[in-house]
Each structure stands twice: as C-alpha cells, then as structure tokens.
Structure 1
Amino acid sequence: MPPWNNGMAARRDRAMRAEVRSRWLSGGDVNGFFGLVVDNLSILGFIATALIGIYGFPAEIVFTRMFPGTAFGVLVGNLIYARMAANLARRENRETVTAMPLGLDAPTSIGMALLVLGPAYVGFHERAGYDPATAAIMTWQLGMASLVVMGLFKFVLSFFGDLVQKHVPRAGLLGSIAGIALMLIGFLPLVEILRMPVVGLAGLGIVLYALIGKGRLPFAMPGVLAAFLVAALLYFGLGAGGLLGSAYHAPAPWQFRFALPLPGTGFMDGLPLTIPYLPLLLPFGLLMVVGGINVSESARAAGDDYPTRNILLAESFSTLIAGVCGGVAQTTPYIGQPAYKAMGARISYVVLTGLFIGLGGIFGYLSDIVETLPFAVLAPILVFVAISIMTQAFEATPARHAAAVVVAFFPAIARLLAIKLGDPAIVDAARFEGLFNDSSRGISEVATIVVLGNGFIITSMIWASFVVALIDGRLRRAAAILLLGAVLTLFGVIHSVLPSGGVYLPTGLAGSLRPIMGQFSAAYAVLALLVFLLSLQRAGRNQGP
C-alpha cells in the first residue's frame, strides 16, 4: 500500500473516532453534567449542614457512612436510565434521545434531615441517654431502614401509580409537596443565603436570571454552574481579603475518606425505629411515585417515550440499593428532562453525573467539597427548585382548585414553626404534655402548632382533597374524606400528640394527651356530619320544584 494511502486511512480513522466522541459527549452533555452535579451537591450540602450544624451529629458518620451509600444510589439509578435511553435510541434509530436525569430528591432529603434523622439523633442522645457515637449509629440505621421502607413502598406502588393519581386529586398531591417546597426547600435555604448576603444573593440572582428569566450567559454556561462559580469566587475572594469577617473559613486540607458502600444488614436493626415515622415515610414514597409518573409524561411530551413503569421501578430499585448500602436520602427522576433536552444533553451526562457522585462518595471528595463550600454557595439551586415545585402545583392544578393548593400549605407552615420553636421531638414527654394545659382558653398555642405540624404531609393531602370535593360539589365525598381524617387522628397518623409525632393506639395514651387526641378526631367527625347534612339539603333542593 502506498504511504499516502496509509496516511489517508489514519486520518479517516481519527475522523471516525472524533465523530463517535462527538456523538457520545456533546456540549449539551457538559452543560447537563454540571447542572445535575451541582443540584445533587446542594442537597448533600443541606443534609450535612442540617445534621452536623443544627443537631450536632458526628461528621464522620455523615461523610463515611451516609454519603457513600446515598451517592451509590445516584450512580446505580443514572446508569439504569442511561441504559434505557440507549435502548430507546437504538429502537427508534435516532441520536436525539435524552436520558432521564436522576438524583437525590430535594423535598424528601430535606425532610429526612429535618424531620427524621436530626430529631431522632437528639432523641436517642438526650432523652434515651445513649452516647453520641451509639446514637449516631442508631440514627444511621434508622435512615437506612427508612430508605428500604420507601423503596419497597415505591416498588409496590409502581404497579398502581395510575390508580393513586385517579383517586387523589392533583391539588392534594402537588399541594402537599408544594408546602414542603415553600417552607423547607425554599424558606430555610433562603435564610442561609441571607446570612451571607453578598455571596448568597449573587448566586441566587444568577439562578433566577438564567433559569426563570431565561437569560443568556456567556459561553452558553449553565445557570447553575455560573451561580456556583460566582458565589464561590465571591466567598473565597472577599473572605481572603477579610471582608466577610468570621463567616469566612479558610479551606482545610482535603481528607482522603475511602469508604465502600457495601451491602449490609444494618437496616434491619433500624426497621423497628421507623414505626413512629411512617406518617412521613409513606407519603414521601407516594409523592415520588406520582412525581415519576409526571416526569415520564413530561419526557414523553418532549419526544422521548419511556415506559412509566420502568421509570418507577428503576427509581425504587436505586432507592433500595442506597438503603441497603448505607444511604439515607432517596433518589428520584428529575422533572427537568425537557430542559436538559433543550440544552442538547443526550445520554453521557447522566453517566458522568452518576460516576462523579458515586465515586465521590467512595473516595470522599464529595464530603471535602461540602466542607469547603458554605451552604450559601450551594443553596440557590434549592430556592429555584422550591419555586419550580410551587409554580407547577398551581399550573398543573385546575384553576378552580387553586384554593385547595393554598390550604395545603398551612400544615407545612406549622411544621416549620415547630422546628424553629425547638422541635418537640427532643423535649421529654412530661414537659411536652404540660404544653397542652398552660392556657385558660383551650389548647395552648405552641401545642396547637405542634399537633397541626405532626403528620403534616398527609394532613395537607386530606385538607386539599376536602376542599377540592367542596369546590366540585361532591359533598358526600368531602364528608368521607373528613371521616378518614378522624380515623387517622385517632392513631396519630395525623395530629399526633406524642413528642416524636409517632403513631399509637388510642387506648395507649395517658394524662391530658388522650382528651386532646379526642378533640381533634371529634372535630373532623363533627364537620363530616355537618357536610353530610348539607349534602342532603342540597339534594332535596335540586330535586324540588
């Protein structure tokens, strides 16, 4: 073969390899990778900030026990979704397929940190008297078991997701998660942002400009990445110059924390500990199933038709894997698949994200990043997530049901107030019981807030569903919903009068707690009777001359 033919063949081979690389990794994939990674980092950052900073949880347990398994679930889920996308591209013979993005779910991850893990640790340590190390291990086992419970629940519901959507109005499903978004995902991170306003507000402003205002950034940079870089530069630049005072902490040397997320049986020891938290865990799983159905539909509308059941099964499997391997935050498909498709992302962005997050949990650089950066740098994306969830709750709900969405916010507000007042889950039972009797005008204000906040997700669903039934003129359905509320109150599924917010048998309560439980349950029953009588009156009027 002449030498120039050899050169032509070599150039052709290089061109073919370059074409394959360009198909596998595009500029859109790079943008999608940074956006998805920062999103996951912000949630990991919140978990660490809440557990370590608020509740005094041992940092090493968070970084070497919780993070590896949690990150491994993200790796497994993204690889499954990448495989599904590759199969779809091959089946339809097109290269424009965008994989479903998967990551840590913001509402339930924040809820796990603030409503389950943090209060449980303080309860084990301060009320039960365990030493910090033992209390931390018990809390970690509770987190693992919680993920296993939610994963199994999601697996079962994967086969009945459409049935759930049919019987629970959208205002009840989206309104309850919007309440979490407003108070826990949006407001609490916003407070952290404004504690370091020059840094945090700059990042938040760029996120709002790029993601809500749809503004263009130089070099087609993703809005999340731009906000992250600007906030980080301001933090380190101003901090090194002494302009942030004590808020600045010079970066410590990175630590090599190697921890394999090996499967174990520790979750089995935590299963009995999950019982008081089932009113939170089961709605968390239900919301993820409904969310999976919605994101599958949004991807289908964008041109990528993924089987809904497969999306849900992959989500439940990755959550189960994370729980068995030590994780404490469940995974979920993100609703932004059409946005990633619009930026040109295809399949490799989820593979790269899964590898970066999963390996980061194993080799410890995720914890180094979280420790180096203040939460004000990572938090702006969470505020955007909160705004998006709330906006979707109103846009995806019929306009006539908007009032039901608003009503669903109230129990979440009560839960936030309870957290800020000093979570009653860390108060001893005797002191908590005394809260009910310190007012001559009925139940004390503090106790009312606490009881309203306990089981707030299911309470929000019931209240919103009740209002939807009223708006639609289905008064007997409204009465049945109220009766369900009365029954759930008897067992503490909603309006629990226990310090932990846990469930119980009505006969197991003592002192002043049983009458309070009875009053709340009777309130639902009395209102159910009134609404039923109104339905008879309405029926008679409609049938009369």
Structure 2
Amino acid sequence: MASAPRRLRWLTAGDINGFLGLVVDNLSIMAFIAMALVGLFGFPADLVYTRMFPGTALGVLIGNLAYTLMARRLARQSGRDDVTAMPLGLDAPSSIGLALLLLGPAFLHFKQTGLSADAAALLTWHTGMAAMVLMGLLKLVLAFAGPWVQRKVPRAGLLGSIAGIALVLMGFLPLLEIMKVPVVGFTGLGIVLYALVARGKLPFGLPGVLVAFLVGTLLYYVLGPLGWLGSGYQPHAALQWRLALPWPSLGWWEGMTHVGPYLPLVLPFGLLVVVGGINVNESARASGDEYSTRDILLVEAVATLIAGICGGVAQTTPYIGQPSYKAMGARTSYTLITGLIIGLGGMLGYLSTIVELLPLSVLAPILVFVAIGITTQSFEATPSRYAAAVVFSFFPPIARMLTLKLSDPTYLSPEHFAQLFHAANGGIAELAVVTVLGNGFIITSMIWASFVVAMIDGRLGRAALILLLGAVLTACGIIHSVLLSGGVYLPWHLPVDMRSMVWQFSGAYLTLAVVLLLLSLRREPRADPSPADAI
C-alpha cells in the first residue's frame, strides 16, 4: 500500500500557470456568450451580467471545489505529489450553441409576440435556466453509465474524438480571433508556445501564461488608441460595477413551458457533454491520474443543475486539457483558485468588468495551446497502429466547425441558411451534408474511430456491430441529425425530403456493416488487440 507523501503542498508554481490557463478558458467562453447575446442579438447587458453570469459562475465554483478535493484524496491514497486535479469549466460548444441557437432566437421570438425587450429578456433567461436544469438531470442519470462506456470504447475512439474537438473548435476558432488582431494575438500565442511548448525560460521565472496575458493587454491598449491595430481595436464602453448574488429561484419552472421547442437541441448537448466527460477522464487516465468516471460525471452534473436553479445558462464540464495542465506543473490547487476567482467574480461583479475589458485576441492564445496539447496527447497515448483511426475521427468536428461558421447570422440569415440546406441539383445538398455530418459529432467520432480500430485488429464482426449501432443512432438523429438544430426525432415524423436523408445516412452504415460481415466469413483476425484498446 502506497504511503502518503511527506508533505502535500497546497500551492506550486505550476498551479499559478494552471490557474491562469483555466481562468482564461472560462473568461473566453463567458466573453463569447456576452458578445453573442449583447452584441449580436441586442440582449440587455444588465440581465446578462447580473442574472446569467452569477449562476453560471456558481457552477464553476462548485465543480472546481469538488475536483480539488478529489485530487487531494487521490494524492493521499496513491502517495504521489504530482497528481493534477481535473479542470472544470464552461463547455465551449454547448455554451456557444445555446447562446446562438436558443437564447438569442428565443429573445427575438418573444419580442415578436409584443413583449418589451426587458420582459422578453427575462422570459428568455428563464427558458435558459430550464434548459440547464434539464441538462443537469439528464447528466445525473447518465453519469452511472460512464464506466461501462469507458470499458467498451477503445482508447483511440475516446481520445480521437477529443482531439478533433480540440483541434477545430478549441484551437482553430480561437485562432481566428487571434488573427483578427494579429499584432496582439499572435505575439501572445508565440509567448505561450515559447514558454509551455519549447520550455523556454522567461525573465524572473514568470509563468508563460501570465506574461502572454500582460504583453497582449499592453499591446492592445497602447497600440490600439494610436491606430496601429486598425479596426481590431474597439474602445470599451463606460464600465459598471455590478453586484449580484446567485439566489435559487423558480424561474426555471416558468421556463419549462417555453423550452419544449428547444429540447432537440438541449438534450443532445447534455448527452454530448457526458460522452465528453468520459473522454476527458480517459485522457487523465492516460496521463497517470486515475479518477472514478462516475464521480467525475456526477460532480459536473450536480454543478450544472445547481447553476441552472440559480440562474446559470451555460453548463459545466470537465475540460479536455488535463494532460496540458499537468505539463504546466499544475497540481491540486489551480482548480481551487479558479473556482474562487470565477465564482466570487460572478457575484461581486468584477468578472463582468474583466469580460468587458479584455479582448478575445488576448484570451484566445491559451485555448490554442491547450488544443495543441490535447491533440498531441491523443497520438502519444494511442498505439501507433491506430493513428489512422484517430485521424479519421477528426472529420465530424471539422464539419461541425464549418456549420457553426456558415450558420452565423453575421454571414447568412437563418432563412437563407435553411434554403441552402435544402438546395441541390442532384443528390444531397453540400451544405446539408456538412451540417448532418457535424450534428452529434462527438459520438460520430467515437463510432468512426472504434470501427476502424476493430478493422485494424481484424475484428470485422465487431466493426459491423459498431456500424449497426451507428445506423440506429442515425435513424433517431442522435448522430447525423437532419434538423438544423441537431435535434433528435422519430424518422417517420419527418417531412419526406428529410426522411430520405435519414434513410440514406443510416443505410450507409447498414450497407457497410453487411459488407464487413460478409468479409468476416472469409478472414481470420490478424492480431489480438491489447486489453486497453479492445472494445
């Protein structure tokens, strides 16, 4: 039995680096939410900062406190002092998706019914709370299936789906924000890469994230007013100090009467975060930290549920960069500090002030670094013979990223996007293919990587079973949903043209499964997979 380390430190230099990275991750997502709601849809800023932010930040506080305690317990039980806590924060895809596809459209819809902007915003907030409560309850139930999924899905499937998300959503999209103000963003990114990838030393031993943060902010506010950043510099409006406590309320209950049309969007987001949480725990396991999958999922489910009851509109999730935080030297306290800073910031008002002050070009470099670390780790922790399966799993996230950009109302109105979705001279419209491929992308990536792993191992019958599962999930819209919202359905309730797409995508999985079953009658398995990679 391992003996406890002589002294389990509460704070290390790496914890400061990890704290800065995790805080920036959360700030970046909150900045995206505020930018979308206030800037794009004209949402009242006060409601975002005094009603939505406090409850959302409370979920981050609760989750990170719990993960800190779990990490310290693991360190004591294992006798190791290099245990890194699981990072928890706001889920980027669903937070951005809910802002653009639920909160914003709901606000516009309620205004069209004749409500004032303030009344429409209040009803929209309650609808968002209801969505959070439903996602929390769903995740609470699904948390108990986590270990079973982890045992059945190969590591290439788990880590490959994470790497695809990291590369195109956590990496490429923030990179676009960096290059909108390249003098600021690219400089900050270079400092992060020098300090954390190249392991270069900075003056006075300062953390790389902190230096990048300070240099980027300085460049923005010095060069911007001089006109050297072009249109990339946007002077901030007059700042306000907003104090608000995240009190529990029954607003979510009122929102239940309005959230029904958005359930096809809400429930898949909750499901995808559960699957993502399983992947995250596999990533941490590969880096040496053995956490209970069930406990990891239960914590983030409870954090989401409490956040929703207290006014939050963005669900929490364990972040997929745990190995990157370990590489920074972060241990068990960076999550504690992050939880306190974010949680108290949402209540005391300084969080909204920071969000209003900091440009995305300053915040985004740390997201790119974390994305690089995740993608690298997915290849290092997976046997080299499965590299093709990992790469193959990248395509659905790429499709999802394209859909997010193409459906942005800044470029196409929702009506125009819907028209292009169905317009085709022959076959399925190209935009429809991209959208359908990207819907349910996390589970799709796992299925794709898993059946390729099975084929590599010569287990064609197992690969066929995985493809049959893909056909069933496709028929219900859990993956490859033919709805623009990405919702689930019973296929016979769809219009004829959409039903045709469902049968074509589902039929593709079914046909390939039959082909592999026939091939399995003539071929013997070439090699036995290792236990870690067997399904």
- Normalized against structure 2, the TM-score is what? 0.84
Aligned to 1:493, the other structure's residue is in SS state coil
Match of 2:422 in 1: 436
Residues 311-362 of structure 1: per-residue CA shift (max 9 Å, x gap):
4443333233223222233334556667767877665544433222111101
- The one of 35, 38, 63 equivalent to 1:49 is 35
Please tell me whether the aligned partners of residues 427 and 499 of structure 1 are also in contact (alpha carbons under 8 angstroms). no
Please tell me whether the aligned partners of residues 65 and 336 of structure 2 are also in contact (alpha carbons under 8 angstroms). yes
Residues 290-319 of structure 1: per-residue CA shift (max 9 Å, x gap):
41354366464xxxx766654444333323
Please tell me whether the aligned partners of residues 95 and 315 of structure 2 are also in contact (alpha carbons under 8 angstroms). no
Match of 1:282 in 2: 271
Is 2:479 the counterpart of 1:494? yes
* Closer/same/farther in 2, CA of residues 32 and 281 from structure 1, 3 Å limit: closer
Q: Where does 1:302-317 land on structure 2 (aligned, <5 Å)?
A: 309-317=294-302
- The one of 143, 153, 168 equivalent to 1:183 is 168
Measured in 2, the distance between the counterparts of 1:282 and 1:144 equals 17
Match of 1:104 in 2: 89
- The one of 454, 479, 482 equivalent to 1:469 is 454
* Closer/same/farther in 2, CA of residues 287 and 540 from structure 1, 3 Å limit: closer
* Closer/same/farther in 2, CA of residues 534 and 355 from structure 1, 3 Å limit: same
Which AA in structure 1 matches 2:25? D
- The one of 106, 109, 117 equivalent to 2:99 is 117
Q: Where does 1:30-109 land on structure 2 (aligned, <5 Å)?
A: 30-54=16-40, 57-84=43-70, 100=85, 102-105=87-90, 109=91
Measured in 2, the distance between the counterparts of 1:487 and 1:339 equals 36
Q: Where does 1:334-345 land on structure 2 (aligned, <5 Å)?
A: none
Residues 435-489 of structure 1: per-residue CA shift (max 9 Å, x gap):
43531x3112122222222222222222221211111111111111222222222
Measured in 1, the distance between the counterparts of 2:71 and 2:520 equals 51
Match of 1:5 in 2: none
- The one of 414, 427, 433 equivalent to 2:414 is 427
Q: Where does 1:146-295 land on structure 2 (aligned, <5 Å)?
A: 146-268=131-253, 269-270=255-256, 272-273=260-261, 275-277=263-265, 278-292=267-281, 294-295=283-284
Structure 2, gaps ≥5 residues long:
1-7, 528-535
* Closer/same/farther in 2, CA of residues 187 and 92 from structure 1, 3 Å limit: closer
Once the two structures are aligned, what percentage of the paired residues are identical? 58
- The one of 530, 536, 541 equivalent to 2:515 is 530
Which AA in structure 2 matches 1:192? E
Which AA in structure 1 matches 2:192? V
* Closer/same/farther in 2, CA of residues 524 and 99 from structure 1, 3 Å limit: closer
Match of 1:521 in 2: 506
Please tell me whether the aligned partners of residues 426 and 499 of structure 1 are also in contact (alpha carbons under 8 angstroms). no
Structure 1, gaps ≥5 residues long:
1-21
1:281 CA drift (Å) = 2.4
Is 2:481 the counterpart of 1:481? no
Which AA in structure 2 matches 1:208? L
1:229 CA drift (Å) = 0.4
Residues 31-77 of structure 1: per-residue CA shift (max 9 Å, x gap):
55434433332332233334444555543333222221121122223
Which AA in structure 2 matches 1:75? L
Aligned to 1:240, the other structure's residue is in SS state coil
Measured in 2, the distance between the counterparts of 1:142 and 1:458 equals 27
Which AA in structure 1 matches 2:414? V
Structure of larger gyration radius: 1
1:99 CA drift (Å) = 6.6
Please tell me whether the aligned partners of residues 122 and 426 of structure 1 are also in contact (alpha carbons under 8 angstroms). no
Residues 98-121 of structure 1: per-residue CA shift (max 9 Å, x gap):
67253315xxx2211333331223
* Closer/same/farther in 2, CA of residues 197 and 28 from structure 1, 3 Å limit: closer
1:393 CA drift (Å) = 1.8
Aligned to 1:104, the other structure's residue is in SS state strand
Which AA in structure 1 matches 2:300? E
Which AA in structure 2 matches 1:288? G
Residues 139-189 of structure 1: per-residue CA shift (max 9 Å, x gap):
544544444444444444544433211111222222222222222111111
Please tell me whether the aligned partners of residues 199 and 235 of structure 1 are also in contact (alpha carbons under 8 angstroms). yes
Which AA in structure 2 matches 1:317? V
Which AA in structure 2 matches 1:40? N
Aligned to 2:521, the other structure's residue is in SS state helix
Residues 85-132 of structure 1: per-residue CA shift (max 9 Å, x gap):
6667788999x5767253315xxx221133333122354356784566
Which shows bigger deviation, 342-351 or 451-460?
342-351
1:423 CA drift (Å) = 5.4
* Closer/same/farther in 2, CA of residues 473 and 280 from structure 1, 3 Å limit: farther
Measured in 2, the distance between the counterparts of 1:280 and 1:169 equals 23
* Closer/same/farther in 2, CA of residues 513 and 365 from structure 1, 3 Å limit: same
Aligned to 2:88, the other structure's residue is in SS state strand
* Closer/same/farther in 2, CA of residues 426 and 396 from structure 1, 3 Å limit: farther
Residues 210-240 of structure 1: per-residue CA shift (max 9 Å, x gap):
1111111112211111110000000011113
Which shows bigger deviation, 405-414 or 124-133?
124-133
Please tell me whether the aligned partners of residues 497 and 517 of structure 1 are also in contact (alpha carbons under 8 angstroms). yes
* Closer/same/farther in 2, CA of residues 539 and 437 from structure 1, 3 Å limit: same
